[in-house]
Amino acid sequence: MSPVFKTIKAKIKYLTTAIGFGFILAWQGFYTPDFNNDIPLNILLVIGSLLLLLGASEIVLDFSLKLAEYAGVSEIVIGLTIVSIGTSIPEMFTAVAAATQGAGGFVLGDIYGSYITQLTIFLGIVIVLAPKTVNRKNVHHPYRDGLLVIFGLCFLSFNISDGQLTRVEAGVSIAIYCAYTIYLLLDSKRHIHTRQDILRFAHDMEVIIGMIPNGDLPVPQDQERLPEETFPDPSSHKPIKGSKLKILLYIGIVLIGAYFCYIGATFCVIGGVNIARGFAVPDHIVGATIVGFGTGFPEFVVSAMAIRKKRVEIAYGNLLGSNIVDPLLSISLGVMVNPFTLDTLSLTGILGFLLPFAIIVDVLIILIFRRKSNTKTQGMVFGLIFLGLYAAFLGGSFL
């Protein structure tokens, strides 16, 4: 990789944040009440808001990882918390912003739409890029992971079936996610292979998002197990030496990044709701299609970069893992700020179309990844099927 490209790659999150913030400032500067009914301007607002949200989210993730390392947080804990939820930061802030505006249908559409988008078009593209990888070698626990993804979405659907989502229900969802994380942490202490998997995932994600500059990956394509000493001992992880001023600076950057995330999410919700009203469609449709694509895009970028670096396991694990986080944790954070209520049209659309479609997609994923091996032709067919499913999703959403 050329030095120029490396410099651009390192600065892209700041450029994206600046461009997105510029969009919003321009919109605010020329705003009039008539803009609420101007669909092209609101589409531009959503695009700018998503750029700000995605760029600021990456800044928050980068400096949160640096803070954790300075604080001496173990690699296992970093892998199970910051790294695993990092690409879901846009959905989290969108949920919080929507909660403050009472746009429950919008953010629920975003959660379901991001889920379907990631596991159809984004997964399909990843499979097309690496068609011989659709097997158990790269998704070690297709039944466990696939069923957990279905459980998270079905549990969320059960909670909203009465037209509302309460703080108690959100608290239970957060507790379930925390219990799952604790289970993985305890399992990593009992089993060397589990610990290696988590440490490898954390390390490779840091490489892919640019936290480790040399970009060297310790594990070959065939996923052979490495000796235990290859990875750091989680119990002996020590803080990285750094001045108090630098730590305070990182904390400030994380807080500022979080504030920009919230601004981006807020205007994304405003623009999305205006678009829904302009087209006379339910809020959840815009959330599921336009915003769902945007907030799911970070996962695709990470997975595409993982394929480029021949880390297929990370590419698939990132897409599946994010869809465990979103229905259990991301949406629940917004509900803790302000409980959601749903109109009948949005509730019917979510439970009658988005949920069954998402379950069909997930069952298909379980079935194809349980295979021991596959040919390139079979992989290409699988990839095209997922791309076709996304087209069907778009068509069904607007019918």
Of 169-173, 185-189, 375-379, 392-396, the least confident: 185-189
Question: Tell me, what's the pLDDT at 146?
Answer: 84
Nearest to 357, CA basis, from 74, 112, 3, 43: 112
Domain 3-398: which topology?
A middle domain of Talin 1 (1.20.1420)
Least confident of 26-40, 166-180, 253-267: 26-40
| DSSP state, residue 240 | P
Whether residue 8 has pLDDT greater than 90: no
pLDDT, one tens digit per residue, over 292-313 is 898 888 888 878 877 877 778 7
Does residue 216 have a pLDDT over 50? Answer: no
| DSSP-assigned letter for residue 136 | T
Residue extents of the structural domains in the chain:
3-398
Amino acid in the structure at residue 386: F
pLDDT number for residue 111: 92
Q: How many CB atoms lie within 10 A of CB 378?
A: 16
The tokens of 372 are what?
């021991």
Q: What is the pLDDT confidence band of residue 2, given thresholds at 50, 70 and 90?
A: very low
Q: Return the structure tokens found at 333.
A: 């954070």
pLDDT tens for 105-129 read 888 999 999 999 999 999 999 999 9
Specify the amino acid at residue 223.
Q
User: Tokens 């309460």 — which residue?
Assistant: 166
Mean pLDDT, the chain, as a whole number?
81
* Percent of the chain with pLDDT strictly greater than 90: 28
pLDDT score of 317: 80
Q: Which residues pair with 292 in a beta bridge?
A: none
The pLDDT of residue 223 is 44
The answer on pLDDT for 162 being more than 90 is yes
Residue 236: pLDDT band with limits 50, 70, 90: very low
Question: Is residue 1 scored above 60 in pLDDT?
Answer: no
Q: What share of the chain is helix, strand, coil (3-state, %, to 5)?
A: 80, 0, 20
Q: Tokens 């912003």 label which residue? A: 97
pLDDT at 206: 62
CB distance 110 to 94 below 8 Å: yes
**Is the overall model pTM greater than 0.85, yes or no?**
no
How would you class 33 by CB atoms within 10 Å of its CB: exposed for 0-12, middle for 13-18, buried for 19 or more? exposed
